[in-house]
Structure 1
Amino acid sequence: WEEFIRELVYEKEFKKLGIVCTKEELYDQMLVHPHSIVVSQFRDQQTQQIAKEFANPDGSLNVRELNKLVSQFKPEQDEMWGNLETYVQQSRLMEKYSALIKGGLYTTSVEAKMNYAVQATSYDVRFVLKKYTDIPDANVKVTEEDIQTYYNEHLYEFQNDIPSRSIEYVTWDVVPSKADIDTLNNELSRIAAEFRKTAADEDAAFTVAENDGRADTTSSLKEKMSPSIPDSFYTSPAGTVYGPYNENRTYKVIKIRGTEQINDSAKVRHILISVPNERNPNIKRSVAQSKSLADSLTALLKKDRKRFDEFVEKYSDDPGKTKPNIKQNPQVLMNTQVFPNPKDTNNYTGKGGNYGWMKESSRFVESFKDYGMKGKKGDIGVVPSEFGFHIMEVLEVSKTTKTKYKIATISRELKPSDITRQDFMQKASDFAGQNNTAEKFQKAVEAQKLNKRLHEDLKENDPFIPGFQNPGESPKEMIRDVYKGKAGDVIPPRIIGERIIVVLITKTRERGPSELEFVKDDITNKVRDQKKAEIIINDFK
């Protein structure tokens, strides 16, 4: 409905008023200063926080990571991104239009007096109420003649401006076969044997070669790794290989390259010297000049650390450096403390560049976090990141430490093979061919205990069919097939993503008055309510 209103009403107004969203503006709203619609795609639905891998230290969306993600999109993801661009563009047009209306509306003094009079006047009333639901439906008889009469007299209510179809459909998940699993296990077992022979200094190159050009050498805590990995692996010497094992339909082979001890938690403060990039277009110095400034300030701080607060105020480009006003808002202190220690005045964001205590799970860029997790109390140095150069000082570290395991990983996603996909497609084709009428379709669904779904209002330009809304699941070809058919047709199967769909067209609705069968239930309810109203009115007389 909103799409219908936009096309028929708003687009004409946009053209008349010259409201546009240029390509340059759209690019800015998508990739430079992302629109709230774009940002929302990266938020956790429960916590409303930006996903860790796309978050800045302050919790905002990391534009560089966003651009990197978009540059690596596959064709189906490009299509999804294009749909999002259209949505953002339409939102920007509506925002501009709303702003114009808001700026052009005002309340006159006469209207203000009238509004005041209406709001200031009240009446005492008494009333009785009897609901339609107080009368059982079984007590009201609605005949076919009643329905036909209402339909004839109210055809204007049932005008259909956009053709639609009602469909029923069944689906099959295309899942890997045992042969697919065995093939993948054999391939990774062969790789594991080679991995054991690989020298430590060649591990990274080996992961690049076996992961389609992607290096995968990381450090991780035991609790962050798969529970499928046995405890014995963590006490094994460097060079030990484990796998293949299954982790969420991804089969992996891992190699332990060593261990390192990190602080359980650490408290740091920093001064951010930004570098020129798309986020900081106003930075005039070069990257080399930014590094030189960071080195110079670090040298001064090593001689006199009491100047840290002074340098934060004078040089830091971190917008989070502002000190909260505890006197005006004591809630700030309570909300921003990471560890419950009210006597720790450094333990809130902004105090001299302080971010309080952080842990391995804290949402900071890796280089920033690593400096605290691996550092010692009193360490001070320059740490590069995508934001620039951080002059970091470790203020405190926990007495306890944790072990991180240096791991190299080879991974393969478990997918159905072409043969498996063909087998499932043949099964669906047999179903559609043998059950090519509405009656046969319904009987087969019941006999095979398939999960049948219904959709009553499928438009030709709908972007999805309910249940097929994930990235890479575009049902446009199937929708086109449906619109080529007629009521009662069983449409041959289509494979969409990792599922196959077979559709039965139950009804077709063309432009003009809706056929009675489409609106019969609605009319029945309306006629019944009319008859109940007559009963209630007679009761009140």
Structure 2
Amino acid sequence: MGIMGFLRERMGKILAFFIGLALLAFIVGEVVRSGGSFFRDDRNLLGEVGGEKVAYDEYNKRYEQNTAQFKQQSGQANLTPQIVAYVQENTWNTVISQMILNKEVDKLGLVVGDDETKSMISGNNPDQQIVQAFGNPQTGKVDMNKLNTFLTNLNASKADDPLRQQWRDFTTQLIESKLSQKYVAIVTNGLYVNSLDAKDDYTAKNKLANFKYVSLDYASVPDNKITVTDADYQSYYDEHKTEFKAAQELRTFNYVSFNASPSKADSAAIKQQAEKVATEFKASSNDSLFVQINSETKMPLVYLHKGRLEPKLDSVMFNASKGFMYGPYLSGSSYKIAKLVDTRVEPDSVKARHILIDDKSIGLDKAMAKADSLKKLIEGGKSFADLANLYSVDKNSAVKGGDLGTFGRGAMIPVFDDAVFEAKKGDLKIVASQFGVHLFQVEDQKGSSKVVKVALVDVPLKSSSATQTAAYSKAQAFLGTLTKENFDATAKKEGLQLKTASDVTGIAASFPGVESGRDIVKWAFGAEKGDFSDKVYITGDQYIVAHLTEVKPKGQLSLDAVKKQIESLVKNKVKGKQLVDKLQGALNGSSTIDQVAQKAGSKVVPLQNIVFANPVIPGSSAEYKVIGTVFGSQPNKLSKPVEGQQGVFVFSVDSFINPAALTNAVREKDQLGQALLQRAEPQLFDALKDKANVKDYRAKFL
């Protein structure tokens, strides 16, 4: 009864304990299955630098800024997977380098004060980026009037004006760059090149060696004439262990691809469809609307000079009449139909200026009215430049009096292009675009030539659903027969070509044979060695099934991980032992290099004027060990066998020609010092990066 009473009294607490334990087990189980952490939310953790977290959202913000900047500078609206990967990698390196630098800067107490920041912008020695942005092309110096006008307009702008944030970002970059310069200067100021260094470098570049050699190539020994043991692999690995370090985790997988590219029947059907579109296009009275509705690529209708169209069109459109139709014709992976909309003669280039009025805040009607008022003021004698400084929201041109410079067609947006190139010299006109309302004036025109406006409709050559289904079914059937052990054998049995993606990084966007392979790479970095893909991956016209064959972790790689990589080198090492013995036998009793050649069944090759700094044997390759040994030898003596890159060598030095004595080491020291400085900064950050213990989790995000 005592026990029952005890249980009754404490049953509530006991139940609460077990329910809580069950809930904890459930939550932990869910976390484990989802790959998260109960105690630390790592869903936003992109990496770590010395224990400091790299947040995904902060990285992504900077990545989007860099992407927008790249698109603006390159003029590319859509980026390829390779360009995306390039921008991602650059953004990552910038982020972690800045974090590493910040830690070092804080340790040393380095700062950039307000006065120093001001000096970088408007001082006697402004930052180079300020010179580029506000410089006078004639003088190469900052135009202070331009800079001061910009700063005045900036201070007068609204608090939420995007230009204010852009300027804050710009000045932050200037400060970060200055801190980096200071830190690097602390290190590089301690670098020194002495006179002995200069003399050694001068000698290495100018001392000449004349010698004769005999060689036996590794290729002269067939692979079936040697036996390579585990001890040979181990010996080579131990000698070169420092070379086998991976900066990041790498993975290798085999894959097979099932082709779903358009069949002949698909191509015929698409051509028939394109012919129907061509008939409708010919009858269309609104070509621009027709293109927007029917074309896969929505290209605006713009005037183009000769040479700007693809060759097939360029050769016919400039001699055709308005309304002329061309196509359907096959171009790349599309059938295209072209229609000549208009032709005219216009200037090759114009010089113009404008005042841009924001229509988003006041509405289009009021913006047009404001532009008209400004037009009347200018026609009445007011300065265009002064009004541009006061009223234009395009601050980049406003500080130059609205000047847009001289430009050809295509440099501006189409609606502005058309208006400017239709106008005459001196005209003041108003046109609205997606950026606002422009009041512009044409200041000059140069040249003249014929331009054409061509409407182009493309009908992509795509696989039919039947073709895609057939390819997918084959891939799915193959996937259904796989186990961890039979991938290669099954592929061979099915007559499929086995392809390999070797040493793929976690953020790779592509791999050999596949341009858009990001999803497959993400799978590979979430799989275990031996796994085959969890589904059929579709990329373009390829249906892919993959098999993860190797995982190379970051850091020191094991012998097993590099065994295939070093196979040919180990074989050469084993062959080298045979060739060394053969040449050593030829050396016994020989007093000249000719006798060695005769006994070894080879020939003597004479070389003249070889320098230590360029250790290349003409007609062969770089032979560092051989040339290094030559410059450490005595003339007229037969060397011992030397194992080189391509084979085993025996040589005899005829003579050395020493350069004139180095009387003034200043130039040599300067050259060496400059080379040392160029290497210092990247090597410095590489060393800091290694020390910072950077952890990269991007494979699960990007």
Asked whether the two chains share a fold, i.e. TM above 0.5, the reply is: yes
Of 171, 185, 198 in structure 1, the residue corresponding to residue 271 of structure 2 is: 185
SS at match of 1:223: coil
The match for 1:50 among 74, 79, 96 is: 74
Structure 1 residue 258: deviation in Å? 3.6
Q: Which residue of structure 1 aligns with residue 373 of structure 2?
A: 296
Aligned to 1:262: 346
1:223 is aligned to 2:307: yes
Map Cα deviations across residues 453-497 of structure 1 (whole Å, 9 max, x no partner). Answer: 5334357x55545136645763258638974736xx899964422
SS at match of 1:245: strand
CA–CA separation in structure 1 for the residues paired with 2:109 and 2:324: 75
Secondary structure at the aligned position of 2:438 is classed as strand
Q: Is the partner of 1:190 in helix, strand or coil?
A: helix
Q: Structure 2 unaligned runs (5+)?
A: 1-44, 111-184, 205-213, 222-226, 581-624, 635-702
CA RMSD in angstroms comes to 5.8
CA contact (8 A) 1:269 1:354 kept: yes
Conserved 8 A contact 2:358-2:436: yes
Tell me the CA shift for residue 318 of structure 1: 3.6
SS of the aligned residue for 2:74 comes to: coil
User: Any idea what SS the aligned residue of 2:424 has?
Assistant: coil
Distance 1:392 1:120 in 2: 60
Is 2:51 aligned against 1:12? Answer: yes
Native 8 Å contact 2:304 2:409 kept in 1? no
- Contact 1:490–1:502 (CA under 8 A) maintained in structure 2: yes
Number of the residue aligned with 1:467: 512
In structure 2, how many angstroms separate the alpha carbons of the residues matched to 1:123 and 1:86? 41
Query: What whole-Å deviation, never above 9, does each CA across 1:246-268 have from its counterpart, x for those lacking one?
Result: 23222222333443443232222
Q: Kindly state the Cα deviation for residue 184 of structure 1 after the two structures are TM-superposed.
A: 0.9
Greater C-alpha radius of gyration:
2
- Aligned partners of 1:465 and 1:475 also within 8 Å: no
Is the Cα contact below 8 Å between 1:481 and 1:491 reproduced in 2? no
Structure-2 separation of matches of 1:179 and 1:212: 21
Query: How far apart are the structure 2 equivalents of 1:409 and 1:113?
Result: 60
Question: Retained in 1: the 8 A contact 2:516–2:539?
Answer: no
* Paired letter, 1:310: D
How has the CA–CA distance of structure 1 residues 38 and 501 changed in structure 2, closer, same or farther, with 3 Å as cutoff? Answer: same
Counterpart of 2:336 in structure 1 is: 252
| Aligned partner of residue 466 in structure 1, secondary structure | coil
Out of 90-99 and 158-167, give the one that drifted further: 158-167
What is the match of residue 409 of structure 2?
360
Cα offsets for 1:345-373 (capped at 9, x unmatched):
xxxxx4x4333432224x22223322221
Change (3 A) 1:117 1:359: closer
1:20·1:93 contact (CA, 8 Å) conserved in 2? Answer: no
2:102 corresponds in structure 1 to 99
TM-score normalised by the chain length of structure 1: 0.61
The whole-number CA distance in structure 2 between the counterparts of 1:93 and 1:243 is 53
- Asked if 1:485 is matched to 2:530, the reply is yes
Matches for 1:154-165 after TM superposition, within 5 Å: 165=251
Residues in 2 aligned to 1:458 and 1:123: alpha-carbon distance in whole angstroms: 45
Q: Which amino acid aligns with 2:108?
A: L
For residue 445 of structure 2, what is the aligned residue in structure 1? 397
Q: Distance in 2 between matches of 1:409 and 1:189?
A: 14
Of 521, 538, 542, which aligns to 1:499? 542
Q: How far is 1:186 from its partner?
A: 0.8
Q: 1:311 to 1:175 in 2, by over 3 A?
A: same
Q: Amino acid of the residue matched to residue 455 of structure 1?
A: A
Structure 1 442/320 Cα, relative in aligned 2: closer, same or farther at 3 Å? same
1:303-318 equivalence runs, <5 A: 303-304=380-381, 307-318=383-394
AA in 1 matched with 2:104: I
Q: Write the distance in 2 (CA, Å) between the matches of 1:251 and 1:492.
A: 33
Rounded to whole Å, the distance in 2 between the matches of 1:30 and 1:513 is 31
Q: Deviations over 1:259-295 (max 9, x none)?
A: 3443232222223344568xxxxxxx76665444322
Shift of 1:440: 7.8
Listed one character per residue, the Cα deviations across residues 177-224 of structure 1 (whole Å, up to 9, x for unaligned) are 2211110111121222233334x2x44444444348968655444533
Match of 2:428 in 1: 380
Change (3 A) 1:116 1:189: closer
Q: How does 1:76-95 map to 2 (within 5 A)?
A: 88=91, 91-92=94-95, 95=98
Question: Of the candidates 246, 253, 261, which is equivalent to residue 175 of structure 1?
Answer: 261
Task: Name the CA shift for 1:105/1:380 in 2 (closer, same or farther; >3 Å).
Answer: same
Query: Structure 1 residues 257 and 85 mapped into 2: Cα distance closer, same or farther (>3 Å)?
Result: same
Q: Contact 1:266–1:397 (CA<8 Å) still a contact in 2?
A: yes
Aligned partners of 1:26 and 1:85 also within 8 Å? no
In structure 1, how many angstroms separate the alpha carbons of the residues matched to 2:289 and 2:47? 58
In the alignment, what sits opposite 1:415? 462
- The secondary structure found in structure 1 opposite 2:419 is helix
In structure 2, the CA distance between the partners of 1:397 and 1:146, relative to structure 1 (3 Å rule), is closer
Structure 2 residue 282 is matched with structure 1 residue 196: yes
1:355 partner SS: strand
CA distance in 2, matches of 1:82, 1:126: 43
Tell me the TM-score normalized by structure 2. 0.49
Q: Aligned-pair distance for 1:298?
A: 0.9
Q: Secondary structure of the residue that 1:188 maps to in structure 2?
A: helix
1:332 paired residue number: none
SS class of match (2:467)? helix
Change (3 A) 1:126 1:92: closer
Give yes or no for the alignment of 1:517 onto 2:556: no
Alignment-mate amino acid for residue 259 of structure 1: T
Contact 2:528 2:548 in 1 (8 A): no
Tell whether the 8 Å contact from 1:274 to 1:290 is kept in structure 2 after alignment. yes
Provide the C-alpha distance between the structure 2 equivalents of 1:38 and 1:477, rounded to a whole number of angstroms: 25
User: Displacement, 1:157?
Assistant: 10
Structure 1 residues 215, 502: closer, same or farther in 2, change over 3 A? closer
Describe the SS at the equivalent of 2:311: coil
In the alignment, structure 1 residue 39 sits paired with structure 2 residue 69: yes
- Are residues 264 and 116 of structure 1, via their aligned partners in 2, closer, same or farther at CA, if it must alter by over 3 Å? closer
How many Å separate the matches in 2 of 1:472 and 1:156? 32
Q: For each residue in 1:161-189, what CA deviation from the matched residue of structure 2 results, as whole angstroms up to 9, or x when unmatched? A: 99865434454654322211110111121
CA distance in 2, matches of 1:419, 1:455: 30
| Cα 1:394/1:413, change in 2 over 3 Å | same
Distance change >3 Å, CA 431–CA 100, structure 1 → 2: closer
Q: SS state of the match for residue 474, structure 1?
A: helix
Q: Distance in 2 between matches of 1:453 and 1:29?
A: 36
Maintained 8 Å contact 1:181/1:414: yes
In 2: Cα distance, 1:205 partner to 1:490 partner: 45
Which amino acid letter does the alignment assign opposite residue 370 of structure 1? D
